[in-house]
Each structure stands twice: as C-alpha cells, then as structure tokens.
Chains A and B, each alone.
Chain A
Amino acid sequence: DQQVKQNSPSLSVQEGRISILNCDYTNSMFDYFLWYKKYPAEGPTFLISISSIKDKNEDGRFTVFLNKSAKHLSLHIVPSQPGDSAVYFCAASGIQGAQKLVFGQGTRLTINP
C-alpha cells in the first residue's frame, strides 16, 4: 500500500520555465511534508518542507503548495535551471508520533537548455 505517490516518473522542462512536481498521499494523519533532491551517486538532500497548518512555503526559487482536502502537494521551481536536473522525492511524516518518513517513488526532472 503506497501511502505517498509520485505518479510521474519523469518530467522534462525548458530552462527558464516553471517545473511543477506533484505528490499525492492517502493518509490524512500525515502532518508534515518534505521534498528532497538527489543527484546521481549522492545521498538525498533536504530541499523544502511544509507543515499541515500551512498551505504554502517559499524558499527562493522553490515553493511547496499543500492542498489538504485533496491530499496533494506540489513543488514549483521557477525559473528552472540546468542544475535542477535531479530526482525529486516527496516524503511525509507525523502518523502517531512515529519518528519516520514515508517516501514517494521519485520523479526525475530534466531541464533542457
């Protein structure tokens, strides 16, 4: 049972345009959401997060939107740059105080010049 889903395995975007990565979750008990970025042969690095009490969080070119009623979050990158080409994972936490994250399958973002 996949509690966190990223339904797009890959996404290709033109440099300078907006990249939108999507993530859906099934468990309404999740109350904290994170995005990680992963380059080949490196560990995932934390990018941005959002608490369920908010619907938007912004950090420079990166903005995460949370729609609790739809159980959906998205990561917007604008403008997209070649260095943004990576695999992006969304993750969720908060169920019953468990100190764990549940990850989606990942989306490979490619920024084309």
Chain B
Amino acid sequence: DAGITQSPRHKVTETGTPVTLRCHQTENHRYMYWYRQDPGHGLRLIHYSYGVKDTDKGEVSDGYSVSRSKTEDFLLTLESATSSQTSVYFCAIKRGESTDTQYFGPGTRLTVL
C-alpha cells in the first residue's frame, strides 16, 4: 500500500466545465505523477512534480494543468473538459531519487459528455 488516495473515484461531467482531480499521499514523497490510461495507449504521462510548486509537462499535457502547494497533494485540472479527456486517471509516487519504481493510486474514472 503506497498510501495514495484519489478523489473523486468516479465523475461524470459535461463538455466545457472545469474539473479538478485530487491525489493525496501520506508518505511525503517528493515525486508525484499524473497519468491517463486509454485502450491501445497504455499509461501516458500528463504532468509530474518534483517538489512543492515544481512541476513539468509530460507527453500529453495539452488541456491539463497541475498544482502542488503542499507535499501531500497534487491536483490535476481540466480547465474546460472535452470528450477526448474521457479516461481513467492515475496518480503515482516515487520513493526517492535513487529508485525508478512508481506506485499508483486506485484511479479516477472521468466521463465527459
């Protein structure tokens, strides 16, 4: 158990509305990640963070923003949701600089109508 929770676990929203997903960790790790999982694409990195207020883009960052004001929370925001952002979103943490292994949260299923 990596001590990661995601909220909400399920959300249905309409095109054009803003959506924020939350990832919370209990272990104070520096590195946190947001992925989306889609059939045929595996897991694709959206954004990641290497510390409070330190974030960087992943391979599919368009249409997404992130914020990390506290070590334990990493927020993913869809400013204006589109149907192409219907997906399952996973948060992950990495336990330090010297390891590459990431540990994942339970996921949020987002549907944009």
Residues of chain A touching chain B, judged by Cβ–Cβ distance below 8 Å, are 6, 9, 32, 34, 36, 41-46, 49, 89, 91, 93-94, 99-106
Report whether B106 and A43 are in contact in the complex, using a CB–CB cutoff of 8 Å: yes
Q: Chain B binding site: helix, strand, loop or mixed by DSSP?
A: strand
**B64 is an interface residue with CB less than 8 A from chain A:** no
Known A34-B100, A49-B101, A101-B100; judge A44-B43 contact (CB<8 A). Answer: yes
Shortest CB distance B59–A (Å): 8
State the interface size on chain B (CB cutoff 8 A). 25
Best-buried of A91, A93, A101 by chain B (most CB within 10 Å): A101
In the complex, whether B69 has a CB less than 8 A from a CB of chain A is no
Count of inter-chain pairs, beta carbons less than 8 A:
54
How far, in angstroms, from A36 to B92 measured CA to CA in the complex? 13
Chain A residues, Cβ within 8 Å of B92: 43
Given contacts A34-B100, A99-B31, A101-B100, contact A42 B106 (CB under 8 A): yes
- Give chain A nearest CB distance to B110 CB in angstroms: 14
A45-B104, A106-B42 known; A99+B97 contact, CB < 8 A: yes
Q: How far is the CA of A41 from the CA of B107 in the complex (A)?
A: 8
Pairwise interchain contact A43-B105, C-beta atoms closer than 8 A:
yes
Chain B residue at smallest Cβ distance from A101: B102
| A42-B4 Cα distance, complex, nearest whole Å | 12
- Render B3-35 as a binary contact track against A, CB cut-off 8 A, 1 for contact: 010000000000000000000000000010101
List the B side residues contacting A44 at CB < 8 Å. Answer: 43, 90, 104
22 of the cross-chain contacts (CB-CB < 8 Å) are: A6-B42, A9-B40, A32-B100, A43-B4, A43-B90, A43-B104, A46-B101, A46-B102, A46-B103, A49-B100, A89-B42, A91-B43, A93-B100, A99-B31, A99-B48, A100-B45, A100-B58, A101-B45, A101-B100, A103-B42, A103-B43, A104-B42
Q: How far is the CB of A35 from chain B (nearest CB, A)?
A: 11
Question: CA of A110 to CA of B43 in the docked complex: distance in angstroms?
Answer: 20
